Amino acid sequence: MTSPRIERRETLTYVIGYALALLLTCAAFALTYFHWLAPRAGFYTVLCLGLAQMLVHFRCFLHIDLTRSARADLQLILFSSLIIALMVGGTLVILFNLRARML
C-alpha cells in the first residue's frame, strides 16, 4: 500500500511530464507551420526538441534516471536503440544503393 504523499508526487510527475511533452510538441509544430526559422536551423531545432521530448518521456513517464537501480533499464533501452538504429541504417544503405543503381 502506497502512501498518499507518494501517489501525489507521482501524479505531479505525470502532470509535469505531460505539460512539458505538450509544450515541446506544440513548439515543434509551430516552428514548422509558421516557418519561423530557416530550413536548416528549423531542422536542427526540431531535432533538439525531439531529443528533449525523449528525455522528458524517459524521466517522467518511464521513471528512468541515473540511479543504480535504474541503470539496467537504461542499458536495455540503449541496447534496443542501438539495434533499431542498425536496422534503420542498414535499410537506408540498401535503399540508397538501389536508388543509385536505378539512375
The pLDDT of 63-67, averaged and rounded, is 77
Question: How far does the chain reach from its first CA to its final CA, in angstroms?
Answer: 65
Calpha distance 35→33 (Å, rounded): 6
CA angle 12, 26, 39 (to 5 degrees): 140
Q: What pLDDT is stored for residue 1 in this prediction?
A: 63
Whole-number Cα distances in Å, 9 to 5, 26, 73: 6, 26, 22
Q: Name the band, by pLDDT with cuts 50, 70 and 90, for residue 82.
A: very high
Q: Which residue has the cell 505531479?
A: 12
**Non-local CB neighbours of 29 within 8 Å, separated by 6+ positions:** none
pLDDT digits (tens, 9 = 90+) for 2-43: 788 888 989 999 999 999 999 999 999 999 999 999 999 999
